Structure 1
């Protein structure tokens, strides 16, 4: 058997956890399978790597030697893989040959990928979905993604602790999703104070939106009732069944029988942003992707002319282009 990097990872995992059983759990392997693999590694290297007893597994002198080399080789190989990934993503001054885009969802990602595909049909484009900004930001920071297209509460931006550059694509007033025959659907907007007796459903996430909505309700003179967090399909189901009103973006395509209206005065807002690492090839092409993201947003929001008219009274909302119109 030839010694491979995966074998060194096994040795390191056993040393770090102090137990073959714990290492097997960490590596996602069955304990007997890991034991058999360790035995093959030891035969290849010519002796036992660990002394094992009831107190756990402790490296032998040979094990310490292997660990000292592994702790140099594994980070070096990880660095090589990261550098190769960055080089593989490099293209001309304003393009890359590969785009890995993480996204929380919303009105931007579909149009962005479509525009990118049309502009660079030969490029490799992949997406990764998550409910959580933190997960996507960490993946960009670690070189596993090139961009993160996320949504955050309108008064906030993703944390600077991730070390990424974030640029706003658009800011929207949050809307109320309801049945078409709801008495609240008669006007162009809804006063939040009129909804004091309602229950709510909203998408899940890791930001401050729930707290900001509760604060908006308090400013409107009431304490919000229950707000159920679920996925988008769950929000639609609850609204359709009459369990709750939903909170949604104005670009949301309501299903038959449902409609939405913005909250008067935009007391709660939602911000679409695009993030990238400043030292990655993505930084070079970011202005181009920001332009595509803005175009994608404007195409989607134009399908809701009632909202486009409403937003003209709020110069701080919409994309930069809409705000200037």
Structure 2
């Protein structure tokens, strides 16, 4: 029998779990089948890899040697596969732009600028609530750039494999119907809104937990929180069903006002990401970064109230 990658994965699983029973469950095998496979591996390698008794399975010196090699070989093969996928999906030059983004205010502005700067290069977009999904598509070479958001100081997804640039930092504002009793206030404390229902967009980051924590610090628990798409959040606020949470760059909308929260307890970072070894990194990362910053500056300028607020709060806004 020739040793295969699946055999190394078997040895690693037994070592990681410390038990043939647990390893079989992790690998989706019956324990007798795993035991038989281990015997074949040991025969091929010329010795016993694990000492087994009622307490579990522990590597022998030969087993430690095999594990040491397996923990080098398996990640290297995984990286090779990922590189091959990126190569197969790459165009070799930026004759097209494939963008992924969450449902924020900057994706449309970036598409517009790319179409102007590169009129012969098609621009395609993929939108998702999941920043992890978008990051995975960039790693696989199916997207060139990711334009996402992250709550507060939380790390972006797959930060060890992708390059991320912070484009801008916004406070989170409250969105109210223009006839709300507090709509005329220059800023609002969360405690003043303790009796309200809330609405915001979904995501797989920590924003929901951070909002709940901010409310707890203000002395209350939200009555309810509707998680839905942006247009539905706007509708719920317009009809008085809820008040919304939004980035400060949310564009002016008829029937609504946005107001800062006292103390800015919640913030949102706009991030641009790409794979450091992709064709996009060499061909266009600097240019796309500049265009994204331009799109962010335009989003800020569309809200005179936010632009004025920024003048007194220099910790927010464009990041150099």
Superposed pair shares fold, TM > 0.5: yes
Aligned pair 1:113/2:111, yes or no?
A: yes
In structure 2, the gaps of 5 or more residues are 1-79
* Structure 1: distance between partners of 2:181 and 2:106: 31
1:199-246 CA-to-partner distances (Å, cap 9, x unmatched) read 101101111000001111122222222111111122112112211111
Does the 8 Å CA contact 2:86/2:139 hold for their aligned counterparts? no
2:161 aligned to which of 159, 163, 166 = 163
* Structure 1: distance between partners of 2:121 and 2:199: 39
* Structure 2: distance between partners of 1:277 and 1:78: 11
Aligned pair 1:83/2:82, yes or no?
A: no
Question: What is the CA RMSD across the aligned residues, in angstroms?
Answer: 2.0
Secondary structure of the residue that 1:183 maps to in structure 2?
coil
* Structure 2: distance between partners of 1:277 and 1:190: 40
* Structure 1: distance between partners of 2:82 and 2:315: 44
Residue 312 (structure 1) aligns with: 311
* Structure 2: distance between partners of 1:123 and 1:100: 10
1:276 aligned to which of 274, 277, 280 = 274
1:3-60 CA-to-partner distances (Å, cap 9, x unmatched) read xxxxxxxxxxxxxxxxxxxxxxxxxxxxxxxxxxxxxxxxxxxxxxxxxxxxxxxxxx
State the TM-score, normalizing by the size of structure 2. Answer: 0.70
* Structure 2: distance between partners of 1:77 and 1:167: 26
Residue 152 (structure 1) aligns with: 150
In structure 1, the gaps of 5 or more residues are 1-75, 91-95
Alpha-carbon distance, 1:254 to partner: 4.4
Does the 8 Å CA contact 2:82/2:139 hold for their aligned counterparts? no
Distance 1:181 1:142, change over 3 A: same
Does the 8 Å CA contact 1:200/1:226 hold for their aligned counterparts? yes
Does the 8 Å CA contact 2:135/2:157 hold for their aligned counterparts? no
* Structure 2: distance between partners of 1:262 and 1:107: 18
Of 132-141 and 115-124, the range deviating more from structure 2: 115-124
* Structure 1: distance between partners of 2:300 and 2:122: 28
| Aligned residue runs from structure 1 range 63-102, under 5 A | 82-86=86-90, 88-90=91-93, 96-102=94-100
Does the 8 Å CA contact 1:197/1:225 hold for their aligned counterparts? yes
Q: How many residues align?
A: 240
* Structure 2: distance between partners of 1:78 and 1:173: 37
Distance 1:105 1:124, change over 3 A: same
Residue 35 (structure 1) aligns with: none
Distance 1:255 1:304, change over 3 A: closer
2:171 aligned to which of 150, 170, 173 = 173
Does the 8 Å CA contact 1:168/1:274 hold for their aligned counterparts? yes
